[in-house]
Amino acid sequence: MIDTLIIGGGAAGLYASSLLPDAAILEANSSCGRKLLLTGGGRCNYTHSSSVTDLLEHYHGSLPFIRKVLYSHTPADIIQRMENLGVFPEDENGKIFPRSGRAEDVLNALLQHNPKIIHGKALSITKEEDGFTVETEKAAIRAGRILLASGGNAYPHTGSDGSGYHLAKCLGHSVTPPRPALAAIALEPSLKDAEGVSIEAELKKGKKAVLGMAVITKRGISGPASEDFSYLLSGKEEITIRFADPDMKALRKEKGAMLLKNALPLPPRLVQALLGSIAENRIGNISKKEEQYIYERLSGCHFNAYPIPASAMSTAGGIKTAEINPETMESKLVPGLYFAGDIIDVDADCGGYSLTWAFATAFIAAKALRR
């Protein structure tokens, strides 16, 4: 029997494994850490230098639960832990990357103790009197304790295919329905004529708003603004986007002879995509009715929007935090079952916050399992 079986060789599973030398990892892929290699554009933004107080603003979920986790293993602790493993930090406006600029170095650091890796996919988990039986397509594995760190359902080709939710449900846990987070957003109508334009924009749904850089795509928008806003969308919903608040009176006075698309503080292609033929008018020839239309389109343009699942880097939803002890990451329902990472019903903004969560929850679980 294996003492501790970690299901999932992603960021959370590997971090826990580096602290549990006697544990084994059950990994569905031929290699561990595939998603980790994609983070930060292949550079691996593995945490953020903010204080925990500031960090809390970037997480979505149960705030008391999140607070306990982040204070138990802070970004400073993560930086120190990675230094102990030979990965030294490079701070870029608060985002912490490995100094080498290589995600592979983070992965190799977490693998350097040569963990025992069993290749196979967990199909079911059964609780026994003295532990658990995990059924795979190849064999049954007996384990005294389980750390479920199989991720959400973002980037399924990397192994985060949502199968961990099924395993948890087998053991009686409740799951908040998962939805894409840190994702590009499709817009209807699209702004495809402005594809490639990068612009600061404010995305708003009800009273919730996100301001940041957005990149216009063929289907909608991507970039930090989209990624930080996408968790708010549970399906196709109406949103507004503010691109600018034009002062038409000042423009008439100062730039009356200019074409509208060249006079606004926005890329001309975006103005054209938003305003159509009006963008070709000289400002002095624009009517009052057109002026009102221009202002409404630029300061609060309405779209039907939904997150693009295939682009999601994280998952909102997951195992309900009310069923997990934040001091140990152990299930409150099933003794010996622990959770870490994106499988938990907590998600975060872009900027190293998701990996901070993965590492902090993994540390807490590993600490409890070492006892």
67, pLDDT greater than 70: yes
Torsion region of 252: left, alpha or beta (phi above 0 gives left; psi -120 to 50 gives alpha)? alpha
pLDDT at 3: 96
Helix (H, G, I), strand (E, B) or coil at 144: strand
More confident residue, 218 or 253: 218
Strand partners for 4: 145
Mean pLDDT of 205-210: 96
Q: What stretch of H or E contains 187? A: strand 185-188
- For the domain with range 2-180+315-370, which CATH number is right: 3.40.630.10, 3.50.50.60, 3.40.50.300, 3.30.565.10? 3.50.50.60
Taking 80 as the threshold, does the pLDDT of residue 157 lie above it?
Answer: no
CB of 244 closer than 8 Å to CB of 168: no
- Averaged confidence pLDDT in the chain: 95
Q: State the burial class of residue 268 (Cβ atoms within 10 Å of its Cβ: 0-12, 13-18, 19+).
A: middle
Condensed to tens digits (0 to 9), the pLDDT of residues 72-96 reads 999 999 999 999 999 999 999 999 9
Compute the average pLDDT of residues 116-142: 96
pLDDT tens track for 91-124: 999 999 999 999 999 999 999 999 999 999 999 9
Per-residue confidence (pLDDT) for residue 159, from 0 to 100: 63
The phi, psi pair for 294, rounded to 5°, reads -60, -50
**What does the domain layout of the chain look like in residue ranges?**
2-180+315-370, 185-307
Mean pLDDT of 29-43: 92
Q: What is the mean pLDDT of residues 230-258?
A: 92
Query: Is the pLDDT at 158 greater than 80, yes or no?
Result: no
Whether the pLDDT of residue 156 is over 70: the answer is no
Confidence of residue 249 (pLDDT cuts 50, 70, 90): confident
What integer is the mean pLDDT of 115-143? Answer: 96
Evaluate if residue 367 carries a pLDDT over 90: yes
Calpha distance 33→107 (Å, rounded) = 6
Nearest-angstrom CA–CA distance, 137 and 132: 16
**Mean pLDDT within 236-242:** 97
Return the sign of the alpha-carbon dihedral for residues 359, 361, 362, 363.
positive
Tell me which residue of 134, 160, 36, 346 sits closest to 364, measured CA to CA: 346
- Closest by CA to 125, choosing from 108, 100, 111, 142, is 142
SS3 301: strand
Query: Residue 331 — φ and ψ, nearest 5°?
Result: -60, 140
Predicted TM-score (pTM) above 0.75: yes
Interstrand relation of 140-148 and 2-7 (parallel, antiparallel or unpaired) = parallel
What is the rounded CA–CA span in Å between residue 178 and residue 319? Answer: 9
Two tokens at 350? 């872009």
What is the Cα–Cα distance from 279 to 303, expressed in whole angstroms?
20
For 41, counting Cβ atoms within 10 Å of its Cβ (0-12 exposed, 13-18 middle, 19+ buried), the class is: exposed
Radius of gyration for the alpha carbons in the chain, expressed in angstroms and rounded: 24
**Peptide bond connecting 75 to the previous residue in cis, omega within 30 degrees of 0:** no
Confidence of residue 49 (pLDDT cuts 50, 70, 90): very high
CA nearest to 361, candidates 333, 332, 336, 339? 339
pLDDT at 164 over 90: yes
Residue 233 has pLDDT above 90, yes or no: yes
**What does the angle CA 357 – CA 361 – CA 363 come to, to the nearest 5 degrees?**
120
pLDDT above 90 (res 190): yes
Give the separation between CA 327 and CA 165, rounded to whole angstroms. Answer: 22
